[in-house]
Amino acid sequence: MSCESNDLKDYYFGEAEPGARQRVESHLETCGACRDELSRLQLTHAALGALRDEEIPRRIAFVSDKVFSPRWYQRLWHSGPQLGFLSASMLACAILVHAFAGPRPVAPPASIVTAAVVDQAAIEREVGKRIDLAVTRAVAHSEQRQQKKTVELLQAADRKYELDRQSTLQAVTASADYMKRALNRDYALNNFGSGQ
Amino acid sequence: MIFREVEDRDLIEQARRGKVEAYNLLISRWEKRVFNYVLRLVNHREDAMDLTQDVFLKAYQHLPKLEDVSRFAPWLYRIAHNEAYSLMRKNRPESELEFEPRSSEPGARMFPIELSLAVDGALNRLTSDQREAVVLKVYQGFKFEEMAEILSCPVSTVKSRLYTALDLLKDALAPVAQ
């Protein structure tokens, strides 16, 4: 530790850090100059202590006066519970008023009304346009579906007609064959029977 | 010391709620110390008395602004410092400050008059910053950190002022401080 350091004065006033205090105490054991310096500090301090505090000439006291007393809002501001209660009350009142009075429509300025009308008309046009488009699409889709169904019905009818026709043809063919065989048999019976 | 601090806190809280009696009790605890602090700055008893009253009036008005009640002492002394320097600047420029010899003031002293005069003279030869550092440390017993708060400057500056002042006082009082 250096003899020039202010650590000695810090130590003397009791404001040295614990480490510095130990260093100063170790240094004082070996350094006579610093011990002398410490003694001079003590003597100077003792001399300064000879100048005692004086008594105050007049006692100071204030009287309770509204001028000096804090205002109601100052007291309120510095009282947490009171401020909290007031805030809660105001919030409750605001909720009640809102519940009973309800929101009132506010007439907007003329320029805003015009803008709103313009916007409304544009919106209506756009909506009409989209509706028309949607209807057109729906009709087309429906017509397409109907046409497809008609084709399917026609094809089914054709198939049924063809089946019926073939069935009838087969029946006629079978009848014709049967009659042919019957005629041939009758013919054969008649010819061979008369020839005996 | 802790008990005393707690009591001060209670008094401050009551004073904040407008209880003047509590504030008067708080004043009675601090008025002598504040008076002597201001007296050693302005070196005039009547001015010191008026300043002390102003300090406590201003402190009462600004008490709601005191955020940390445990820092009441540095806060109060900061007000006192500002009031004293305001008066000193108003009365005379800093360079022309000349202090009255306090030996002419009324009041009995309880110590040898020679030593008293020597100390008084040695203190008055210091600059106002150095003298205030000595008063706050030696006579008022503040820590360096509190002094820095009162004087609104770094701790290193406080130490520098105090140690320079002590070196000067050590030389000035060497003949009488044996």
What would the pLDDT profile of B29-51 be if each residue is shown by its tens digit?
Answer: 999 999 999 999 998 999 999 99
Please tell me the least confidently modeled range out of A100-114, B31-45, B48-62.
A100-114
- List the helix and strand counts (H, then E) for chain B: 8, 0
Q: Which positions in chain B touch A40 (Cβ < 8 Å)?
A: 170, 174
Separation of alpha carbons A6 and A12, rounded Å: 10
Residue A13 confidence (pLDDT) above 50: yes
Nearest CA in chain B to A6: B163
Quick one: DSSP state of residue B111?
Answer: S
Main-chain dihedrals φ then ψ at residue B68, nearest 5 degrees: -110, 110
- CA distance linking residue A113 with residue A123, whole number of Å: 15
The secondary structure of residue A68, as a DSSP letter, is T
**How does DSSP classify residue A59?**
-
Higher pLDDT, B112 or A49: A49
Of A110-114, B55-59, B117-121, give the range with the top mean pLDDT: B55-59
Quick check: B85 pLDDT over 90?
yes
Measure in Å the smallest separation between the Cα of A63 and chain B Cα atoms. Answer: 7
Alpha helix (H) ranges present in chain A? Answer: 7-12, 18-30, 32-49, 72-77, 80-101, 110-194
| B140 → chain A, closest CA residue | A53
Cα-based distances in Å from B155 to A20, A80, A110, B161, B162? 17, 35, 67, 10, 11
Alpha-carbon gap, residue A28 to A119, rounded angstroms: 92
- Mean pLDDT of all residues in B56-80: 93
Give A119's pLDDT tier (boundaries 50, 70, 90).
Answer: confident
Q: Cα–Cα distance between B76 and B58 in angstroms, integer?
A: 9
pLDDT tier for residue B104 given thresholds of 50, 70 and 90? very low
Q: Say whether A58 and B17 touch across the interface (CB within 8 A).
A: no
Contact call for residues A75 and B41 (beta carbons, < 8 A): no
Which tokens go with B130? 């150095």
Are the CB atoms for B51 and B87 separated by under 8 Å? Answer: yes
State residue B108's pLDDT score.
40
* Position A81 confidence tier, pLDDT thresholds 50, 70, 90: confident
Is the pLDDT reported for residue B56 higher than 80? yes
Mean pLDDT on A163-192: 87
Is the separation of the CB atoms in B34 and B142 below 8 Å?
no
pLDDT of residue A143: 86
Per-residue confidence (pLDDT) for residue A4, from 0 to 100: 63
**Cβ contact, residue pair A60, B56, below 8 Å:** yes
Write the single-letter amino acid at B97.
L
Q: Tell me the pLDDT of chain B averaged across its residues.
A: 85
Residues in Cβ contact with A134 at an 8 Å cutoff, skipping those fewer than 6 apart: none
Kindly determine whether residue B112 and residue A50, on different chains, have CB atoms separated by under 8 Å.
yes
Residue A63 burial (CB count, 10 A): 8
At A33, give phi and psi (nearest 5°). Answer: -65, -40
Q: Looking at beta carbons, which residues of chain B come within 8 Å of A4?
A: none
Percent pLDDT > 70 in chain A is 81
The percent of residues in chain A predicted with pLDDT above 90, rounded, is 14
| pLDDT computed for residue B134 by the predictor | 95
Residues A160/A166, Cβ–Cβ less than 8 Å: no
| pLDDT higher than threshold 60 for residue B2 | no
pLDDT at B178: 61
Tell me whether residues A60 and B138 touch, CB distance under 8 A. no
- Give the model's pLDDT for residue B131: 95
DSSP label at residue B153: S
The residue type found at A179 is M
Per-residue confidence (pLDDT) for residue B155, from 0 to 100 = 95
Average pLDDT over residues A44-50: 89
Find the closest chain A residue to B145 by CA distance.
A15
State residue B47's pLDDT score. Answer: 94
d(CA B19, CA B12): 9
Q: Please return the burial class of A81, using the count of CB atoms within 10 Å of its CB with bins 0-12, 13-18 and 19+.
A: exposed
Q: Dihedral of CA B14/B17/B20/B21: which sign?
A: negative
Cβ pairs A/B, distance under 8 A: 110
Which residues of chain A have a CB within 8 Å of the CB of B45? 54, 57
ipTM of this predicted complex? 0.77
pLDDT higher at B133 or B102: B133
Q: Average pLDDT of A75-89?
A: 76
Q: Is the pLDDT of residue B101 over 80?
A: no
Number of residues in chain A? 196
Instruction: Return the structure tokens found at A143.
Output: 């017509």
